[in-house]
Structures are given as C-alpha cells and as structure tokens.
C-alpha cells in the first residue's frame, strides 16, 4: 500500500500532527473487550493483514516528522534520551542489522541494504541518507550504531542484557517514553524497572512474562500491546520533562476532550538478538485523538467509553489521567447507545 508521508508535522508547540482516515484504519486498536486489565498478552509476531501488524517494524505516514522530532529531542537534552552501557556494543550492532534488514525487506521502495563482506551500503530514501560503513567498526558511522539506526526508525528502542536468568536494562533510545526516566532505569533488573506498575506483581504476571522472555529464540519474535492517554499529540512525555506537559492535564473538559485527549497505543515487538543474546524491546507509539477515533470508527469510540468508565482507579492513577478520566468518559458517552451487538465489530 502506498504511504503518503507527511513532511512537516509537529509533536510540540503548535501540534500540527493529525492522522489521515487511512492511518486511523490501520491502527492496532488495543481493546478486545469492554473492560481492560493487564494480562499476559504476548503472541507470536507474525504478519497479519496490511495494517500495523504487517511488517516486522511498522512505519506509517508520520515517519519523516517523527524522525525530525526525535532529532529535536536528542539535541535539546544531550545524554538524557539515549544511553548505552559500554558492554552493549555487540547488541547495538545486532540491532542495527535487524532494523536495516527488516526495513529493506518490508519497504524495498524506501530502504536498501547491500553487503560486501563487512562493507555495508545503506540507503534511506525517505530521509535522503546514503552511507557506506564497516560493520563492527564504530568509527565508520557518525553515531554509535544504535543511535545511528534508531534516529532513522519510528518508536523507542530498549536493549536488555540477559545474565543469570534475569534481564537488565543495558541501553535505550527513548524520545517518546510515557512518563519514565531512561537514565534512572539504566542497569536496573526486570523487577526493579517494573517496580512502579500496580497489581502486576500480585497477579504473578511479571514472573510469568520474564520466564517467557528468557525462552525467546532468535527468529521467533513476540509482540504485545500497551496503551495510555496523553493530552495533545506530544511524543516526548518523559519523567524529566513532566513540568512542561503535566499542566495540560488540567485543561481537559467534557467539551474539548475529543480534540485534546489522545489514545497512545504502544506496539511492542520483542526480538532475541543473535550475537549478543540481548533482547530488544521496541515501543512503537501511535497517537490518535478521541475525535479521530469517533469520526473513523464509532464502534471503537463506544468501546473506549466502556473501557475508560470501568477502568480500575489504580490503573487510572498509574497511567496519569486521574484529572481528566471523567471528562473523556463524558465526551465518549455520546457514542455509546448501551447496546452490545455493534461493539463486537470493534475487534
Ligand atoms: C524486556 C522488555 C520490557 C521492558 C524493557 C519493559 C519496560 C517497562 C517500563 C519502563 C515500564 C514503565 C514503568 C514505570 O512506570 O516506570 C513498563 C510498564 C509495564 N510493563 Fe513492561 N517492559 C518489558 C516487557 C514487558 C512484558 C513482556 C510485559 C507483560 C507481558 C510487560 C508488562 C508491563 C505492564 C503491564 C506495564 C504497565 C503499563 C501501563 O499501564 O502503561 N512488560 N514496562
């Protein structure tokens, strides 16, 4: 399918970001039921349909604008949004290879990769990049391999090192992270960085998910979806910049919630990496306003009304929309006629 790439969208200041109807239709909608609770929602990452689940790493009409937003964020606060422990270099090269191979295979009209032994030639036509470098030799790239390739990729990327049946946070580029700190998490173990998440320990989910990931094999990726809400289409909502964006939570009303409140969908396709045995945890974020959802798929709006209305308060508080849950529910109520049959179509 041809993608019409938007050239100059902004995810800050005047927020000119908007989705085309085609882009809304291809979203991985995260609510299979009228109620939501955390679950072991891991499934094999195999291609499904021609939307967001078709490619190994999905790109859409926002690719160019999103790469620009990442560059702005990286330049604004050097050292805050990209961190890598020195011993993660092999995993960085693994990740560069995986992204280049996947993009070139899934989007041959936009990317190509040619190899002559360790000499690699990479062309990214969307960003006008044409580089030749030596695989394994960092001095032949303008940035470290992870930063180099993820500056050209949609979504955030975290590298996990496996040691003694435990995962540790080894590196990451995160310019779209939902209210956590990348620098704070560096070096933390699986249980430590999931520490703030409510209820997951009690239901035994974290232990089961870790056991599952430790068995992840090269070439057999898995995926899961997560979600949150944000006011305005703002990608950079890190813990560090909280004073810049958190006050927007107070301006949402039942009248403007459709325009101001964005569903933030996270598609997370996890891969084992071949040389380093690290695991990559990509977080591909999709922003869509409640209004865009309702205009394009009223059955999704109906379902979201039910999900938000019944969501446990612990999750509302953790996900950070305590201030405006009621306003969002009030706005969405107009799409819920109380009947059940249409909602089934939302899946
Ligand atoms: C190695 C891969 C993973 C990494 C690096 C990771 C990292 C994170 C981080 C940084 C958070 C936010 C914590 C905070 O508030 O400070 C989080 C939240 C969470 N994680 Fe993971 N995670 C991984 C895999 C998984 C898996 C496989 C599952 C479940 C099957 C899971 C379940 C959750 C849940 C339920 C939340 C709360 C999300 C929300 O309500 O918005 N994570 N994770």
- Among 194, 239, 325, which residue has the most ligand 1 atoms within 8 Å of its CB, making it the best to mutate? 194
What does the angle CA 53 – CA 55 – CA 59 come to, to the nearest 5 degrees? 90
Q: HSE, CB side, 13 Å, CA atoms: give it for residue 304.
A: 33
Nearest to 231 by CA among 216, 217, 245: 245
Which of 47-51, 286-290, 341-345 comes out lowest in average pLDDT? 341-345
> What residue's CA is closest to ligand 1, atom 4?
281
Residue 306 has pLDDT above 50, yes or no: yes
Instruction: Name the pLDDT band for 341 (thresholds 50, 70, 90).
Output: low
pLDDT value at position 304? Answer: 98
Structure pTM?
A: 0.96
pLDDT value at position 178? Answer: 76
> How far is ligand 1, taken at its centre, from the CA of residue 194, in Å?
6
> How far is ligand 1, taken at its centre, from the CA of residue 172, in Å?
14
* Closest atom of ligand 1 relative to the 169 alpha carbon: 5
CB 287 within 8 A of CB 228: no
Output the average pLDDT for the chain: 96
What does the angle CA 173 – CA 274 – CA 217 come to, to the nearest 5 degrees? 100
Nearest to 40 by CA among 284, 206, 247: 206
> How far is ligand 1, taken at its centre, from the CA of residue 305, in Å?
24
pLDDT tens per residue across span 37-80:
999 999 999 999 999 999 999 999 999 999 999 999 999 999 99
pLDDT value at position 344? Answer: 44
> How far is ligand 1, taken at its centre, from the CA of residue 214, in Å?
15
Burial status of residue 106 (CB atoms within 10 A of its CB: 0-12, 13-18, 19 or more) = middle
Distances (CA, A) of 259 to 108, 227, 326: 36, 18, 15
Proportion of the chain in helix, strand, coil states, percent, rounded to 5: 35, 20, 45
Catalytic residue among 68, 183, 224, 259: 224
How many other C-beta atoms are found inside a 10 Å radius of the C-beta of residue 62?
A: 25
325 a catalytic residue = no
pLDDT value at position 179? Answer: 84
Residue 130 has pLDDT above 90, yes or no: yes
> What residue's CA is closest to ligand 1, atom 37?
197
């Amino acid at each position: 399918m041809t993608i019409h790439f938007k050239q100059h969208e902004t995810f800050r200041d005047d927020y000119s970001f908007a989705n085309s109807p085609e882009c809304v239709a291809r979203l991985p909608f995260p609510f299979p039921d009228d109620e939501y609770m955390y679950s072991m929602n891991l499934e094999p990452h195999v291609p499904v349909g021609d939307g967001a689940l078709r490619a190994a790493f999905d790109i859409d009409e926002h690719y160019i604008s999103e790469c620009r937003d990442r560059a702005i964020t990286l330049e604004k606060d050097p050292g805050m949004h990209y961190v890598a422990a020195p011993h993660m270099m092999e995993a960085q090269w693994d990740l560069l290879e995986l992204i280049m191979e996947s993009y070139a295979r899934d989007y041959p009209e936009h990317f190509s990769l040619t190899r002559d032994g360790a000499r690699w030639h990479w062309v990214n036509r969307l960003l006008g990049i044409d580089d030749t470098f030596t695989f394994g030799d960092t001095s032949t790239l303008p940035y470290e391999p992870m930063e180099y390739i993820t500056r050209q990729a949609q979504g955030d990327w975290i590298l996990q090192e496996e040691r003694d049946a435990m995962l540790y946070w080894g590196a990451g580029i995160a310019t779209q992270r939902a209210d956590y700190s990348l620098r704070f998490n560096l070096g933390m173990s699986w249980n430590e960085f999931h520490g703030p998440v409510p209820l997951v320990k009690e239901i035994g989910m974290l232990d089961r998910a870790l056991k599952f990931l430790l068995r992840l094999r090269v070439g057999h990726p898995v995926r899961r979806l997560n979600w949150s809400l944000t006011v305005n289409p703002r990608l950079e909502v890190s813990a560090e910049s909280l004073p810049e964006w958190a006050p927007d939570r107070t301006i949402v009303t039942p009248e403007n919630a459709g325009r101001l409140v964005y569903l933030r969908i996270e598609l997370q396709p996890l891969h084992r990496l071949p040389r380093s045995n690290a695991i990559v945890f990509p977080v591909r974020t999709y922003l869509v306003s409640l209004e865009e959802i309702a205009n394009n798929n009223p059955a999704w709006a109906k379902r979201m009304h039910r999900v938000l209305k019944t969501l446990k308060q612990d999750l509302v508080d953790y996900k950070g929309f305590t201030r405006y849950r009621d306003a969002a529910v009030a706005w969405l109520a107009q799409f819920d006629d109380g009947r059940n049959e249409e909602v089934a179509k939302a899946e």
